Amino acid sequence: MALALSLGLAAGEAAPGVKPAPSVAPAAPAPEILPVPDEAAQAEAGRRLRELYKTEFASRKPEEQRLLARSLVEQASRPGDAAVRFVMLSEAMHAAAKAADIAILVQASQEHRRLFALEPGEELLKDLGIAIQAATTSEQAEDIIAELCRLADDAVQRDAYPVALKTLALAEQMARRSKDAALTGRVRTLAERIKPLAEAWRQIGNEADLLGEISAAGRTARGRFYCLVKGDWPVGLTHLAAGDDEALLQAAAAELAASTPEAFIAVADRWYELAAKQRASAKDQMLIHAAQLYRQHLAALGGLERARIDKRLVELGKSLGGRLANQRIPVGAVLYLGFERDGILGQGGKLSALDSSGSGHHAQLTGLRLASGIHGQALECPAEGGAADCGKPATLRLDGSLTISLWLMPGEFGQRRNPIFKSYGSELAITQETTGILSFYYGANGKDIDPYQGFTSAAAVPLKTWTHVAVVRQLEGAARLIWYFNGKRLNEVAAAYPTSRTSDQPLMIGRGYTGYPYIGQLDEIALWPRALNDAEVKQVYDGSAAGR
């Protein structure tokens, strides 16, 4: 084991201290992506496997199917015949589905995609259909719907709308079987988002000719879809700038060419004026985008111009309401806790913070209070301790790229404390050191043991002052870990592991492995299962820090 990656800890020993991230790749290389074995090889491997585990495969007991699935995942992680490993993981997924154990099902699927060249997510749908029939508890139903929502979001990101609709249909089936009002409402919200996108995409049709070229009219149609339906302006602007609608073309070209706050404000004014000529949702999307540009560049303005834009933002906030607030969140978040009054649910003497990302997660608050925050309410973590428990749904078990974003205001630096924690040897942990420097940890163990990578922010957050922090784990391409303070890139290193094995621990806010509760305030905590880029991190910061 490389010395830079090891503290020599065994399970249950002391938690990690500050550890510099390695400057070179770890000794263990990323596994080779293998081709899917041919059908004959799969059939022979399946025959041998079923002979060996004849009794286990014949069992109808969920617990025995769960044990079989775990055993097969463990064995498939070891080197060996590719066809056998492939079939082991396929059968592990089937067994986990029969037991309605989504954690094992997702783990097997992640290992399948890590080792073999498979389409993202699609191999899961058949087994999730089996799990729907096998589910008997509300917890199983919640995990199934959470995973289906994640797959639907991934399909939308790829514009794979037939897959998104198929996934939605399974989620609707699970919601009907569960008869749970909260799950039904969550799936209804998902349907309200996916069905219009799928229909709008269908209406565009295939605009490309035999050579793959798209006409100017086709560019406009695609640009309007991405900007005014999906809300993906970075992609849509390039299409509009090559389209045949002169007004949209000029506005898009001006935004792509803008490089100063004054130029972006002028572009925002142009979108604001063009919105008056649009209908319903397209008008709102244009106004929301104008508001985003205003907010991002408001801090650079002064005098009457700043007063003009600030006044317009107030007006837009009143007319657009929650539609504008939600656009602060870059697309694809699986968790967003704002701790505002309308996002706090009191039931049975307990408080829950509601998730605004659309994923439907709730954070159970114990021993924590609500206080005045960076904007509206924030979560106050007192010295006597407490925590917000986000649970351990499948959508929060993240093995690939991710981004964590939050505002924090430390109350003291006397001990090492965790504002956010899931597992330092697996998905993620953030530690506030006694100096105020922040450390991010992740590993490929599936539990809190060595080895793991630690990566510091290199600069301290100030005491009793609000700071927006974000950490990005980018595992595609040039694998990097990146810290941001107040929207600016601060420190980065090479990521040590090509993937993070997921843990079975809940995501906790305000408490973690150090044993000392976080003291201070936290606000606008968000998590994405992808690496946000510099502009998106700044969008989150700007949307919180100015014009609100």
Q: For residue range 133-179, what is the model confidence (pLDDT) as tens digits?
A: 999 998 899 889 888 887 888 888 889 999 999 999 999 999 999 98
DSSP states along 243-260: SS-HHHHHHHHHHHH--S
State how far the alpha carbon of 235 is from the alpha carbons of 206, 222, 487, in Å. Answer: 17, 9, 22
Question: Does residue 455 share a domain with residue 380?
Answer: yes
Q: How far apart are CA 148 and CA 150, in angstroms?
A: 5
Q: What is the pTM of this model?
A: 0.65
In percent, the amount of the chain with pLDDT more than 90 equals 56
Which residues span the domain enclosing 317? 216-328
Q: How far apart are CA 192 and CA 506, in angstroms?
A: 29
Question: Does residue 383 share a domain with residue 299?
Answer: no
Question: Does residue 321 share a domain with residue 342?
Answer: no
Tell me whether residue 465 is in a domain: yes
Task: Give the alpha-carbon dihedral of 390, 396, 399, 403, to 10 degrees.
Answer: -80
Tell me whether residue 521 is in a domain: yes
State how far the alpha carbon of 336 is from the alpha carbons of 119, 355, 362, in Å. Answer: 28, 5, 10
Tell me whether residue 388 is in a domain: yes
Question: Does residue 134 share a domain with residue 278?
Answer: no
Question: Does residue 388 share a domain with residue 316?
Answer: no
Check whether the bond before 517 is cis (ω within 30° of 0): no
Q: Mapping DSSP to helix (H, G, I), strand (E, B) and coil, where does residue 22 land?
A: coil
Q: Hey, what are 322's tokens?
A: 């929650």
Where residue 375 falls among pLDDT bands split at 50, 70, 90?
low
pLDDT for the residue numbered 330: 72
Q: Mapping DSSP to helix (H, G, I), strand (E, B) and coil, where does residue 323 land?
A: helix
Mean predicted lDDT score pLDDT of the chain: 86
Question: Does residue 399 share a domain with residue 525?
Answer: yes
Q: How far apart are CA 85 and CA 73, in angstroms?
A: 9
Helix (H) or strand (E) holding 137: none
Question: Does residue 282 share a domain with residue 157?
Answer: no
Question: Does residue 411 share a domain with residue 346?
Answer: yes
Q: How far apart are CA 321 and CA 318, in angstroms?
A: 5
Q: How far apart are CA 173 and CA 145, in angstroms?
A: 10
Q: For residue range 402-414, what is the model confidence (pLDDT) as tens digits?
A: 999 999 999 999 9
Q: Amino acid identity of 437?
A: I
Tokens 């004849």 belong to 54
Question: Does residue 404 share a domain with residue 316?
Answer: no
Check: CB of residue 500 under 8 Å from CB of residue 444: yes
Question: Does residue 127 share a domain with residue 45?
Answer: yes
In the chain, the number of structural domains is 3
